[in-house]
Structures are given as C-alpha cells and as structure tokens.
Structure 1
C-alpha cells in the first residue's frame, strides 16, 4: 500500500498541466505531498509562500493534499518525510532524458527504497510550462485556460501592485 506520494517542482506558477498531474497523482496514495522547491540559484516570479498559497487554492477540491516546501536534495526530503513514491511529469521526449537521469541519481541516493513514477501530461497541456506562461502573461498575452482561474486572479493582483 502506498501511503505518501510526492510531486515536487518549482510551480512558479502552478499550471493546468501541473494540476492535471496532481489530480491523477492524488489517486495513487493516501497522501499526496505537493513540494515546492526553493532553488536559490533561480529568481522566481513568486515567493515560496505565494506559490504554496496558489497551490492550496487550486487544489482545495482534493482532500488528501498537503502542500510543503523544501530546499536542497529531493532525496533528503524524501527520506526525512517517509515518502514512498515520487511522481515526475513528462511532456515530451526532451523531458524524459533529463528526468531519467534525475530518477537514476535519486534512486542511488534513496538506496532504491523509493520508486519514481513518470506520468505523461495530458496532450492538452504538453506545450505548457511555467516559464512560457509567465512570459506570455508579462507580455499581456492571454493565458486563460493554461492556469487555474484562481491562479490567474492571483497573478493579475500581483502585477497590479
């Protein structure tokens, strides 16, 4: 029985592609932890707190979700939090090459105690990434349907400030 599943990412911002994977991953275990990664080498558009808030708002319909954040190695977080399965999303073959390397390194760090499961994104969102969404949004393009409505409202409020 799978108790804890982790879906980790920067979610800057969370997109409908992420939400599709979250909805599906939540069915795989008792608890799905959505882990917001703090990558200090990147300059995110949203703070960790803002990203967590957006995820909580976008997933409030899913009862077995926990939203958390961490920095450092994914493998350390997995071990410290008794994660059974790590979910990784794949959009295209270029994602696979990167993700398989990461999964193999993490398997080594987990001592093969934790499984990585790859989920293909819905074809409707295979072109969507947080970076593209942010770029289109900041250039006044229409991103409706690419992010949850609550996230779009959040983005619009932030940009008015």
Structure 2
C-alpha cells in the first residue's frame, strides 16, 4: 500500500527522516508531500525542501517527494495513497492530530491515518526548535541531515560563535 506523509518539512529533521525510513519498511512506497502554504513565511522554498528530502532519502527505495497545496485528502487521491502517516512526539500532539485525522476521514472515508510515535531520541525535535538553535549559532548536526544543516548554516550565516555540544 502507498502511504502519504504530508508536512511542511521546513526544515526536514532527523525525526522526520526516521519516520520516513520506518514507514518505508512498513509500507514499501511513501509519498513525502511538502505543503506549499502561502500564509506561512518558510525558511526554505518548496523546491529547496524537496531537494533536501530527496538528498536525505536517496538511500531508500520507493520514496517519492512531491509538493502540494490545498487539502491533504486531495493530495492522497492524486498520488493513489490509501493512508496518511502522522508523527507524534508527545501527548500534546495527539489532540491536534486526532482532530485532523477525523476531519480527513470525514472528507475521504476510504483514507486511514496511522500515527507513528517518534523515536525517543528524536522526540524533542521540531522544525521551529531547529531553526531557533541554528539562528543563534547552536550545533544542529545531531538534529537534521547534513545537507539541511549546511543549508541552515548558510541561511543564518551567523556571526555568533557556535556553542560547543
């Protein structure tokens, strides 16, 4: 079965990559769908995020990286995905994700949502935390794939002295 993993991925974190790898081993084909949201000020363009994800997942088979706007259920239908994957880092994520899953189910009853728990060593990661650490010159190599770290460091090009881990 083909699975859809939607998100903004701004930027892709090692937590996202872990879920992609695990989903790939479970479902074979995973469509990573990068949300194009004009209402949000993204650090990276959709094209940059797609490139980052493709680089980070080059070692995997059955991964397709696409962009979308609009409803996730429409993206799933376009890419013939029968289920949606969502990651949960903490209990606080569950209420929001359950609401979205139920909304999607009301729009497309044939779609299932699968919640995957973040690995413990990635459960603290969020794209916003990673950007904040990078913005202030902190070490991010353990938080994101190498290409993403390079792009973030170039983006923020901080004159700050990086913190020692």
Q: What CA deviation, in whole Å up to 9, does each residue of 1:23-78 have, x standing for no partner?
A: 00112223110000011111000000000000001110001110000000111111
Give how far 1:156 is off: 2.4
Matched, 1:79 2:81: no
**Equivalent of residue 143 in structure 2, options 136, 146, 149:** 146
**CA–CA separation in structure 2 for the residues paired with 1:108 and 1:76:** 13
User: Normalised by the size of structure 2, how large is the TM-score?
Assistant: 0.91
Conserved 8 A contact 1:5-1:28: no
- Aligned length in residues: 157
**CA–CA separation in structure 1 for the residues paired with 2:79 and 2:62:** 16
**Equivalent of residue 62 in structure 1, options 60, 63, 67:** 60
**CA–CA separation in structure 1 for the residues paired with 2:80 and 2:55:** 25
Q: What CA deviation, in whole Å up to 9, does each residue of 1:54-104 have, x standing for no partner?
A: 000111000111000000011111122211111000000110000000000
Question: Residue 31 of structure 1 corresponds to which residue in structure 2?
Answer: 29
More displaced stretch, 42-51 vs 74-83: 74-83
Question: Residue 22 of structure 1 corresponds to which residue in structure 2?
Answer: 20
Matched, 1:131 2:131: no
Give how far 1:124 is off: 0.4
Question: Residue 114 of structure 2 corresponds to which residue in structure 1?
Answer: 117
User: Normalised by the size of structure 1, how large is the TM-score?
Assistant: 0.94
Conserved 8 A contact 1:6-1:83: yes
